[in-house]
Amino acid sequence: MDLPRTVSIIGTGSYVPEKVLTNHDLEKIVETTDEWIHSRTGMRERHIAAPGQASSDLGTEAAKAALADAGIEAGELDLLIVATLSPDMFFPSTACFVQEKIGAKNAYCYDLGAACSGFLFALDAAKNQIASGAVKTALVIGTEKMSTFIDWEDRGTCILFGDGAGAAVLQAGGEGRGIMKSVMGSDGSLADLLWTPGGGSRNPISHEMIDQRQQYLKMRGREVFKHAVVRMTEAVVQALEKNDVGVDEIKCFIPHQANIRIIDAIAKRLGIADRIYTNVEKYANTSSAALAIALDEAVKDGTIQKGDLVALTVFGGGFTWGANVLEWNR
C-alpha cells in the first residue's frame, strides 16, 4: 500500500462585509451595554452583510483571495466544500453557487453541516480525499451570514454573532507533515442547547412557527460555554497525542472565536496563554468562518511562519467539536 501523501495548505483568504456594527450600536437595538458585552465576551464589534449579500457571496470573496494567494486558477480545483449553517437556500448547495461564481468547472461541490465546527470538519474531509489520491486540489470555505438567522430581539444571542468568510486551498505535496490527523467528535443528545428549531422538516414554516420566532438560533449560553471549554481542551490534548506533538512545540494556537472567556479558560488549562490567536474583538462569532478567518489573518500578519506547528480547535452546535495540528510549510 502507498504511504499517505502529505497534504498542504497552499493559500488562504478571508472576507468580511463592509458594514460594522459596534456594541454601542447594539445598545440602540436591545437592552445591553458595551461594558456588558465586552466584559462577558471580549467582543467590540462585528461585520454585517448587506441585504442583497448571501453566504455564497461572502464565500466567493474569500475563495478568490485564497486562490490568488495560492497562485492557482479555479479550473484547477477538483473539490469544493462549503461549511455553513446559513446557506443561501436549503438546496442546491451554497458550494454550487460559489463554484459558478468563481468558475471552478472541474470541481465537485457540496456543503458540510457541522455548525461552528464546520471548517475544521471540511478541512479534514478534503485532506483525506487528497491523501487517498482521489483528488489533487481542493478548496474549503467557511462562510456565514449569521445576521439572517439570529433573533434581533434576543439580547442573549444577537450580540454574539457576525458575518464573514474564510477559505483555504489544499493540495497534495509539500515539505514536512502539512495537515496532520484530526480528532473530531459529536454528541447529538445535547442538540437542543444550541439550535434553530423552526423552518426544517421537523417544524416547517408556518405562521405559528414564525410567530413563536422558532426560525431563529436559540442557545442556552451558560451550558454551551462549559461544554465548549471541556471539549476543545480535550480535543487539543488528544490531537497532540495522536500526532505525537508536545504542547510546547506548538507555535500558534487558534481556537474557535466564540468568547474570549472560553478561549482564556482553554489557554489556562493547556498553559498556552502566550501563544493564543484571537480576533473575536473585531468580528464576534462568525461560526464556521471564524477559524478560517483567524488562520488567514495569523498567516498574513506573520504570526505563523514556515515550519511552525499550529493547533486548531473548534466547537459548535450538534454538539460537534474537533482539533487538528498543522505544520505550516509555505
CB of 194 to ligand UT7, least distance (A): 6
Q: Which residue has the cell 490534548?
A: 237
- Number of residues written out for the chain: 330
Select the span of 11-19, 29-37, 176-184, 207-215 touching ligand UT7 (CB under 6 A): 29-37
Contact pick of 17, 316, 318, 322 for ligand UT7 (by CB under 6 A): 316
Select the span of 14-22, 122-130, 177-185, 223-231 touching ligand UT7 (CB under 6 A): 223-231
Residue 234: exposed, middle, or buried by beta-carbon count in 10 A (0-12, 13-18, 19+)? middle
Residue 9 β-bridge partners: 170
DSSP class of residue 135 equals -
Q: Which of 243, 259, 279, 285 is catalytic?
A: 285
Residue nearest to ligand UT7 (CB): 221
Select the span of 8-16, 33-41, 145-153, 320-328 touching ligand UT7 (CB under 6 A): 33-41
CB of 21 to ligand UT7, least distance (A): 13
* Residues 235-254, interacting with ligand UT7 (CB under 6 A): none
Residue 222 lies near ligand UT7 (rule: CB under 6 A)? yes
CB 260 within 8 A of CB 278: yes
Site residue total, ligand UT7 (CB under 6 A):
21
Q: Which of 209, 226, 118, 234 is nearest to 167 (CA)?
A: 118
Catalytic residue list contains 106: no
Q: For residues 96 and 141, which CB has a smaller minimum distance to ligand UT7 in the complex?
A: 141
Give the Cα separation of 298 and 326 in Å (integer).
13
Residue 5 lies near ligand UT7 (rule: CB under 6 A)? no
Question: DSSP of 1-25, one letter per residue?
Answer: -PPPPPEEEEEEEEE--SEEEEHHH
Give the Cα separation of 15 and 101 in Å (integer).
15
Q: For residues 32 and 148, which CB has a smaller minimum distance to ligand UT7 in the complex?
A: 32
Residue 89: exposed, middle, or buried by beta-carbon count in 10 A (0-12, 13-18, 19+)? exposed
Select the span of 131-139, 154-162, 209-217, 297-305 touching ligand UT7 (CB under 6 A): 154-162
Q: Which of 120, 129, 168 is nearest to 288 (CA)?
A: 120
CB of 323 to ligand UT7, least distance (A): 15
* Residue 168 three-state SS: strand
Q: Which helix (H) or strand (E) holds 254?
A: strand 250-255
Catalytic residue list contains 256: yes
Residue 113 lies near ligand UT7 (rule: CB under 6 A)? no
In the complex, which residues of this chain contact ligand UT7 (CB under 6 A)?
A: 32, 36-37, 40-41, 116, 155-156, 159-160, 221-222, 224-225, 228, 258-259, 262, 285, 315-316
Write out the catalytic residue numbers: 116, 256, 285
